[in-house]
Structure 1
Amino acid sequence: MKYSVLFAAVIGLLLTACSNEEWDRHYNNTDVVLSDKSLADCIKDQAELSTFYHMIEIAGYEELLNSPQSLTVWAPTNSALASLNPATMDSTTVRELVENHISRFSYITTGLQREKIFLLSNKALWFAQNGSDFQFGTGTLVDKNQVARNGILHTINQYQPYNPNLWELLNRMDGIDSLQAYINSLIVTDEFDNTVNYLLENYASLDDEDSTYTVVIPDDAAWTKAFQSSLSYHTLYYKDGENVSLKKTGPNLSPQYAKAALINHLFFSKVSDPYAFDSIMSTNKAWFNVANLFQGANKYTASNGVLYKTDSLRMAPHESWQRPIVVEAEEPRFGRNNINNNLYFRSSEGTGYETSGDKYIVMEPTVTGGVSKVSVIFPIPNVLSATYDIYCVFVPERIANSVDPKPNKIDVGITFRKATGIYQPTTFTSVVKGIVTSADSITKVRLGRATFPWATPYDGTTNSVEVKLRIDNAVSTSQTTTMSRTMRIDCVIFEPVVN
């Protein structure tokens, strides 16, 4: 018990010391003039602050400044606000300006060096000593440390404009109605009555004052042109009120996918000056040439980054929405299917061969006759209504057999929904036959080219994946002395054909 009491006493002394130090930092100052007035009264009683007090009335902040809450106000003088007329300003602008000069808690100049102040506007400004003066943002204090019963009042010679963040700027900007309509359609109420903003959650936290972004935004004419281009790549098969591949009834979802593709690469995180780089990467991992992307765009500065408004969205389809599709052979979630073989995962690490992710698959035959082919079917997700060159990366037998490695002979077929709407998932059209792979080196083999009339976006279910690539080992029984019926595959690649 004796030791417990002693420990409590020591902790109490430490807490008292900390509290006194904090009190001294914020409140003990020989320059402080005590008052029993509220902050609202202190401001109202000073003729040189009459314009700011009128703004407080318009903004409805009299009640707060009369409340017992601890606050600090940096009040601009009338001369500082001479360029503004509260009577002609809209109430939102007035409220934001007032909030940009009020902070919770008390801040005095005693012991001040440099402190970041978080304001009621959700912005932050620096409060700092500058020689014999004190600065709040870009303003200089002309009177300081007036103590009201509920906080501290300073007066400054320059008002601090409210600087909107990128999300606010997007919603206030003229000439981008089409984009605004779409991004605000991404604000929904979930089943628990919570508001969810899918753009801020999934693309970029444009409302976060502690983040930094560069944003490129198409004006209405640029949006319309880019949307028509994107729509041609996102044409879903729609019949009798159903988006067929997605098994979803209702309106045609092609426009929604086309619009989503347009905003996919408009945001660049941790980039405050794009011109400091030759290329920058979007939040969705695509690289763009800075000189081309921002050519002719108008720059706007926000509190958490910069926005470039452009009259032409200079993103080629293959740079943005029609990017290469890579299906790793070991990835099972799209519904990969192997026939007449046992399929195993293998690592290439330490073999002298480099595969993507250091992984590949091996298909060992479970049948001996050449009639029953060793096969694997790869469903390909997110194929657009466009043209692709199709590749497969084969791993050589030498990775496991350095004595007498043999090549494979491959036949390839493909199935997808035809322009007529007919879909036969088990009927494969031949793409190429008799390709012989290397026994000694990893080879990226071009299998052929295909044009797909319908986009098939992946919705998380295997039913939505309609494009399927079948690879057969075509080695006959008589060829097994010189060729192998065991296949090794790294990945399948669909590369967009650039017009």
Structure 2
Amino acid sequence: MKRNKYSKIWGMMLSAALIVGGTAACSDDHFDVVVTESASASLWENMVAQSDLSNFVEILENTQVMRTDNDQNATISYAELLSSSQNFSVWAPVNDSYDAKRYLDILKEAKSVKDTDPVRFRELNRDVEVQFVRNHISRTNYEATAAPQTVRLMNDKRCEYTVGDSFNGVKMQGSTIPASNGVLHKLSGLSPFSFNIFDYLAENPEWSAVNEYVHSQDTLLFDESSSIEGTIIDGEMVYVDSVFYTSSPLSSYLGSVSSEDSMYVGVMPTNDAWNKAYEKYKTYYQYGESYDNEFNSETGRFINTGSAAYKVNADSLQEVMTKNSMLSDLFFTATQFSSIDLSDSASIVSTILSADSLQSTGWDYIYNPNAPGRNPYFGAAGNMPTKASNGYVFTVDDLAIDASKSWQNDYNQEGENLGYIYISGGMGLSLSLTEATRNDTITGVVHEESYGRYERSGVGQMYVEFSLPNVLSAKYDIYVVLLPSEINRDYIGALGEGVKENIVLNAEIYMDDDSRTSPTAEVEGLQASSDSVTHLLLFKDFKFEKCYSGLEVSSFPRLRLILPRGTYDTCRALNIDRIYMVPKGND
């Protein structure tokens, strides 16, 4: 499992602090520093001279400076960095005000595996560097302002500092010590590390199932543009300084919850809740072994069939699609509400809890059945959030996603777009209604006053097919909105004087392999009104037995609408306003 943490040590810190945490991104930005003119010794020399900072000194001289989590070329320690000409502000906790042995033990372990397990070495060193060392150092001087101010630390965290009084809630001890490359302060205790949401995900054992999946596709990549070229040996460039970074594609489903400049509210299922949710929701992503694909609109058939069909690892794809969908619905950015004061934590939580709908970082919607009351998605009343440096997280025992509203698409095909994929025995026309052509004796609403007219080319059967893309293995109600021909004045009397239109049609659903495996995949004798717009239910609770979302090829079921043979005298065309599906879930 990808943790990148010294779990025993940081877990104890978490329990005590009740705030979220983990490894934060660092910044190598440089800032101008006001240096006291009388200072002559460096920060490091001044720290070494202070006997009550000996533990802090020992930690810093054994911690290497890493630019990234995977810096494989780190060579200098913080002792060397703080002896350089670069400028810093340092707040150093005095001996016996914190458990220095914890950090020294981690560094000791790191040193013991440096040659045999360099990855583990970097993880351990980075933990101490980010959560302790960089949590006490800034690249900016803050001594010119007496009023409370926000400090940006080297680990990109923010904290409050009042000159001569306190730093990050910890009282100062003694006087400020000027140095040639900055200022040194003493603290009466450890500066608490402010965990953000993404950090805490890696630390909280209740969330380890989610964390493990988030990092399951992490890969280490070489950053050529940031690396320093050396010489070419045997035709290959040898880099003096090679920079690597971790690509974590699944973390994108969570938004920017690792950013200190963001503000999120989210839910995090316990391990048991995550596993139960997967078993429940995987039914929406049941895949077949193969899929015919690449439809030929001239023949009305898929091109790649049989041995050329697209083969699927059904179980693997089911797991990926289900868990990615679950990840997509865990977090919500507070900035989607323009009225929220991001500095008012009570307002943020209250607004998120009571909103009638929320858009998640995965662009799904979570609806509140109790609006304007508390949304049960965040747990029962009394379930309080954990505060992070960049938001709030509610731990829940039940991940209650309404998949029919979040994941199932509201398919809608406008008839006038002529979005059919195949037509047999007829032709399609795109028509618009105007004041001159709209027959007001026909009641009902025509969407955007436009529709598609599919006319027979002879007296035989006509059918037109539409694709139903990206459907899940779930239930849908499938409708067609049909118009009488005479809704358009141009077609009044088209059947002959005194002949009344009688709209009767059949409907069929074909899977990609042309099968109609469901007993409800065919209906006959459907009747639409000749006097009004008809929302005709073709199939109720139709269950697609396999999922078509997430495929790497174009494959889909097809809806076929049929004007049967023998009805030519009373029905010459299908006038379609639109086709739509209503998601019904799997319950």
Specify the TM-score bucket, using the shorter chain as the normaliser. Answer: 0.7 to 0.9
Distance 1:173 1:438, change over 3 A: farther
Mapped partners of 2:135, 2:404: distance in 1: 44
- The question of whether the paired residues in 1 share the 8 Å contact of 2:290 and 2:310 is answered with no
Mapped partners of 1:146, 1:360: distance in 2: 78
Which residue does 2:204 correspond to in 1? Answer: 173
Distance 1:48 1:456, change over 3 A: same
Q: 1:27 aligns with which of 18, 34, 54?
A: 34
DSSP 3-state at the match of 1:301: strand
Residue pairs, 1:458-477, within 5 angstroms: 458-459=550-551, 461-462=553-554, 464-465=555-556, 467-473=557-563, 476-477=567-568
- The question of whether the paired residues in 2 share the 8 Å contact of 1:287 and 1:319 is answered with yes
Shift of 1:414: 1.0
1:487 and 2:556 correspond: no
Q: 1:416 aligns with which of 507, 511, 523?
A: 511
Shift of 1:195: 4.5
Which residue does 2:233 correspond to in 1? Answer: none
Which residue does 1:102 correspond to in 2? Answer: 137
Distance 1:219 1:243, change over 3 A: farther
Letter in 2 for 1:62: A
Q: 1:314 aligns with which of 376, 400, 405?
A: 400
DSSP 3-state at the match of 2:546: coil
DSSP 3-state at the match of 1:318: helix
Which residue does 1:336 correspond to in 2? Answer: 421
Cα deviation 1:256-309 (Å, max 9, x = unaligned)? 222223223112122764444324512222124354222255733322122222
Shift of 1:429: 4.6
Mapped partners of 1:49, 1:432: distance in 2: 87
Q: Which runs of 5+ in 1 are unaligned?
A: 1-21
Shift of 1:174: 0.6
- The question of whether the paired residues in 2 share the 8 Å contact of 1:100 and 1:121 is answered with yes
Mapped partners of 1:243, 1:439: distance in 2: 47
Distance 1:235 1:399, change over 3 A: same
Mapped partners of 2:490, 2:171: distance in 1: 78
Q: 1:213 aligns with which of 252, 264, 286?
A: 264
Cα deviation 1:323-348 (Å, max 9, x = unaligned)? 34313336989973344223437699
- Using the aligned pairs only, state the percent identity: 22
Distance 1:461 1:407, change over 3 A: farther
DSSP 3-state at the match of 2:472: coil
Letter in 2 for 1:27: V
Mapped partners of 2:567, 2:390: distance in 1: 65
Mapped partners of 1:156, 1:331: distance in 2: 72
Cα deviation 1:15-41 (Å, max 9, x = unaligned)? xxxxxxx98xx538xxx4722211122
Number of residues paired by the alignment?
451
Cα deviation 1:134-186 (Å, max 9, x = unaligned)? 55332454556533122222334454311222222112221333322221123
Q: 2:92 aligns with which of 75, 93, 104?
A: 75
Residue pairs, 1:54-203, within 5 angstroms: 54-60=58-64, 61-78=78-95, 81-82=97-98, 85-86=101-102, 90-91=106-107, 92=124, 94-95=128-129, 96-104=131-139, 106-111=140-145, 113=147, 115-127=149-161, 135-142=166-173, 146-188=177-219, 195-203=246-254
DSSP 3-state at the match of 2:89: strand
Distance 1:486 1:318, change over 3 A: closer
- TM-score normalised per structure 1: 0.75
Shift of 1:403: 9.8
Mapped partners of 1:56, 1:454: distance in 2: 58
- The question of whether the paired residues in 2 share the 8 Å contact of 1:108 and 1:152 is answered with no
Shift of 1:360: 5.4
DSSP 3-state at the match of 1:293: helix
- The question of whether the paired residues in 2 share the 8 Å contact of 1:215 and 1:267 is answered with yes
Q: 1:265 aligns with which of 325, 329, 336?
A: 329
Mapped partners of 1:196, 1:243: distance in 2: 37
Residue pairs, 1:244-259, within 5 angstroms: 247-248=310-311, 250=313, 252=315, 253-259=317-323
DSSP 3-state at the match of 1:477: coil
Letter in 2 for 1:65: L
Q: Choose 302-311 or 402-411, whichever is displaced more.
A: 402-411
Shift of 1:440: 4.3
Mapped partners of 1:301, 1:369: distance in 2: 70
Which residue does 2:117 correspond to in 1? Answer: none
- The question of whether the paired residues in 2 share the 8 Å contact of 1:432 and 1:447 is answered with no
Mapped partners of 2:222, 2:144: distance in 1: 51
- The question of whether the paired residues in 1 share the 8 Å contact of 2:415 and 2:452 is answered with no
1:325 and 2:410 correspond: yes
Mapped partners of 2:544, 2:464: distance in 1: 21
Which residue does 2:458 correspond to in 1? Answer: 369
Q: 1:302 aligns with which of 365, 388, 394?
A: 388
Distance 1:66 1:212, change over 3 A: same
Mapped partners of 1:440, 1:394: distance in 2: 9
1:287 and 2:366 correspond: yes
Mapped partners of 1:401, 1:286: distance in 2: 42
Q: Which runs of 5+ in 2 are unaligned?
A: 1-30, 65-77, 108-123, 225-244, 292-304, 336-344, 369-373, 494-500
Mapped partners of 2:558, 2:44: distance in 1: 71
Which residue does 2:238 correspond to in 1? Answer: none
- The question of whether the paired residues in 2 share the 8 Å contact of 1:237 and 1:244 is answered with no
- The question of whether the paired residues in 2 share the 8 Å contact of 1:381 and 1:456 is answered with yes
DSSP 3-state at the match of 2:411: strand
Shift of 1:226: 1.5
Mapped partners of 1:160, 1:331: distance in 2: 65
Letter in 2 for 1:74: W
Distance 1:393 1:150, change over 3 A: farther
Which residue does 2:120 correspond to in 1? Answer: none
Q: Choose 137-146 or 54-63, whichever is displaced more.
A: 137-146
DSSP 3-state at the match of 2:205: coil
Which residue does 1:278 correspond to in 2? Answer: 354
Mapped partners of 1:334, 1:151: distance in 2: 68
Which residue does 2:275 correspond to in 1? Answer: 224
Mapped partners of 1:167, 1:335: distance in 2: 45
Mapped partners of 2:223, 2:416: distance in 1: 34
Letter in 2 for 1:173: N
